[in-house]
Amino acid sequence: MTHAADFQRAHAYALAAPGYVDSWLDRHVAPEDRSATAPAEIIVNFRFTGDLATHEAALRSLYGGAICVSQGERSEQEMEAIAAEVAAEHDALAWTVETPANAAWIQVIVDDGLQEQLDAAYGPGVVRVEALLQPVE
């Protein structure tokens, strides 16, 4: 049996762990039990950039429920740094990190080739540019 306090300890561990990317909850219902009243098993998913075996062992020692530990590309900390750096350098109106996509998002007035520059610097899709003004043809 698992308790909320166990989940909270596991989540606190993940947030403080090096290479933490993100975490989320899934619900699994066995195919033979798919109905509106079927109990669902909660699966806690954690992504890290490395050392998955160590993170999985630590999480399993803290939380007895179903977990899935998988590989992520960039840590939450790395994505926050990229987003803040790009936003400051390009006078972004707003910025955030899109956790499930493991990408940064910035909003600018006009994209005058910025998306292409950022794709070249960080890789395609790592930073997503949204421009308020769009060219008119």
pLDDT in tens, the chain (137 residues): 678 899 999 999 999 999 999 999 888 776 666 665 555 688 999 999 989 999 999 999 999 989 999 999 999 999 999 999 999 999 999 999 988 888 999 999 999 999 999 999 999 999 999 999 987 87
pLDDT at 42: 85
- Tell whether 88 and 43 lie within a shared domain: no
- Tell whether 97 and 66 lie within a shared domain: no
Domain end position, chosen among 71, 91, 122: 71
By residue range, what is the domain housing residue 81? 76-133
- Tell whether 45 and 103 lie within a shared domain: no
Is the Cβ–Cβ distance between 130 and 106 less than 8 Å?
yes
- Tell whether 40 and 65 lie within a shared domain: yes
- Tell whether 81 and 49 lie within a shared domain: no
pLDDT at 34: 61
Domain end position, chosen among 46, 71, 96: 71
- Tell whether 65 and 84 lie within a shared domain: no
pLDDT at 31: 66
Pairwise CA distance, residues 56 & 102, whole Å: 20
Cα distances (Å, whole numbers) of residue 80 to 56, 75, 107: 24, 9, 15
Tell me how many domains the chain contains: 2
